[in-house]
Amino acid sequence: MSGLNPFAIAQQQLDEAAEKLGLDAATHEFLRWPMREYHFTLPVKMDNGKTKVFKGYRVQYNNSRGPTKGGLRWHPEETIDTVRALAAWMTWKTAVVDIPLGGGKGGVTCNPKEMSEGEKERLARAFIRSVGRELGVHRDVPAPDVYTTPQIMAWMMDEYETMMGHSHPGMITGKPIPIGGSQGRGDATARGGVYCVREAGKTLSLDPSKSTYAIQGFGNAGQFAATLHQELLGGGTLIAASDSRGGVLNKDGMDPGALVRHKLETGGVANFPGSTPISNEELLVLDCEILYPSALEGAITKKNAGDIKAKIVCELANGPTTPDADKILHEKGVYVIPDFLANAGGVTVSYFEQVQNTYNYYWTLDEIYSQLDRKMTDAFHAVHEQAQKSKVHNRLGAYLVSVTRVAEACKLRGWV
């Protein structure tokens, strides 16, 4: 997307927060780097009988507040710097929603769209054979992310339990429900973001039920945001959506459920009946009230930030806005709900999954929703109030909340 190094961006964001907080030099330097990282070379037998060698990574960024937690991405452009950035953002994310976990992330450079189910299973098991001994409910807990699924989590848990010789459902989250998954995990990321939009609407006196909205990236997070926006906010008009193959626009509105079905049937949003094509670039600067960037990092840069017309940008994707663009959006008065707040619903329900696995007792969907709503609403207001008090943009406000909490944990442990 933007071509900027995401880890350099993550460090730059931290630097700004450290300066604003007057953080001491040692704590600042400590928080700029992952505490631990692993690189793997994974040989996998492919269906054609040949062995293919994949590169895998796991970064345990900071565990001062609890075991590291974070998803696994399988993406052709995965790099260690992307994983480091995402692991840093997980550290701030678990802190902003105040759950007792640290931040981590992992990935494999691969293209799952070109792999059979058998090849994916062998890759999942190879990854766990390499990293398994560093994982565990009290150590480091992976989860799904871009192009990884509950089925992949199931294979990983099975491989881990085979290695360890007993049951360990809490070693990974985002599992299918029959083998220890939680109710409500599927739509938790989008649901948490929509709760934040509801709260932002109250503070800005903007009625989301009468608003137009657009979604960049129509995958897991984007599809649920499309439907939940209307379900939880009592209305709203979905005017555009896009995925890696292109986008669709209909200013009169599209039925989100029908668009999801169209994507499932055809593999993309393109050619949705009644719509006209729109590029990803055009979608981002569309005249709409609420924009949900839900694809990958680096979508909003200094090149297009000045043209953004949305009043609220709810960042379901990780790192969709570069630091230069942040300042431009703030000066324009765009209300950004920053990624590690907006998309924290996923890790919050992952945490609920770990808790249920450890208790071996499972909550109802209503219990999950009400606990998630409480966590997200509290986090939203903590960030909003901090940003107002310090007169900074919301991302910096969120950093001030999270970095204060993580730095305090590091100090209490006597690390810095």
Give whichever of 209 and 280 is closer to ligand NAD, judged by the CB atom: 280
CB of 105 to ligand NAD, least distance (A): 9
Query: d(Cα 168, Cα 180) in Å, to the nearest integer?
Result: 10
SS3 label, residue 272? coil
Give whichever of 56 and 319 is closer to ligand NAD, judged by the CB atom: 319
CB of 26 to ligand NAD, least distance (A): 31
Going by DSSP bridges, is the β-strand pair 140-144/68-75 parallel, antiparallel, or unpaired? parallel
Query: d(Cα 383, Cα 341) in Å, to the nearest integer?
Result: 8
Give whichever of 62 and 321 is closer to ligand NAD, judged by the CB atom: 321
Q: Which residue is nearest to ligand NAD (CB)?
A: 219
Q: What is the enclosing helix (H) or strand (E) of 396? A: helix 394-412
Give whichever of 238 and 392 is closer to ligand NAD, judged by the CB atom: 238
CB of 349 to ligand NAD, least distance (A): 9
Give catalytic status of residue 93 as yes or no. no
- DSSP assignment letter at 174: S
Query: d(Cα 265, Cα 291) in Å, to the nearest integer?
Result: 25
Query: d(Cα 237, Cα 288) in Å, to the nearest integer?
Result: 9
CB of 3 to ligand NAD, least distance (A): 13
Alpha helices in 77-141 (DSSP H): 80-96, 117-131
Q: How many Å separate Cα 375 from the centre of its chain?
A: 16
Query: d(Cα 399, Cα 393) in Å, to the nearest integer?
Result: 10
For residue 140, which phi and psi values (nearest 5 degrees)? -160, 130
Of 105, 263, 311, 375, which residue is the catalytic one?
105
Give whichever of 233 and 316 is closer to ligand NAD, judged by the CB atom: 316
Contact residues for ligand NAD, defined by CB under 6 A: 145-147, 189, 216-222, 242-244, 280, 294-296, 316-318, 343, 346
Which residues are known catalytic residues? 105
